[in-house]
Amino acid sequence: MSAGTWESHHAITTLMYHYAECVDAADFDGIAGLFVHGRITNEGVDGAIEGSEAVRALYAGTNRVHADGTLRTRHLTTNVIVDIDEISGSATARSAFVVFQQTPELPLQPIVAGRYRDEFARAGNEWRFDRRHIFVDQIGDVREHLSFDLSGFMDKR
């Protein structure tokens, strides 16, 4: 793999940042649109969430939308390293993430941190997510972010 063209690198990182923007805005249709041909997997969890409808249902069913219509979060994606194979139309990326949140009940603080391992495929001139694998490395106070209890998640890994 190589660095690829500037255009491919830009398209791939834009997809990654668009994902974070959609999550923060509680734009579950936008997130779903990123995975029309892709899937999401999580370290320590069997199976995959495949296709836009399943992805939309996952995010709508597990995230707490607040009175302002957002998750009151800021997902930051950092340390992005992209490897692109222009000939085969495939790429991988690895990155780190941290999620901050502030609500009327919760002061501004990091609530979760981890890593993404992404796979991309090119269809024509368009890059798209093929797979996003999520590693959750640290968990803080997520009671204002998720609609389920994540406290035992780290113990199961």
pTM for the model: 0.92
Average pLDDT for the chain? 94
Tell me the domains of the chain and their CATH numbers. 6-156 (3.10.450.50)
Asked if 82 and 91 touch (Cβ cutoff 8 Å), the reply is yes
Q: How far is 39 from 50, CA to CA, in rounded Å?
A: 4
Q: How far is 48 from 86, CA to CA, in rounded Å?
A: 27
- pLDDT digit string, tens, across residues 93-128: 999 999 999 999 999 999 999 999 999 999 999 999
- pLDDT digit string, tens, across residues 122-141: 999 999 999 999 999 999 99
Q: Which has the closest alpha carbon to 95: 126, 72, 61, 120?
A: 120
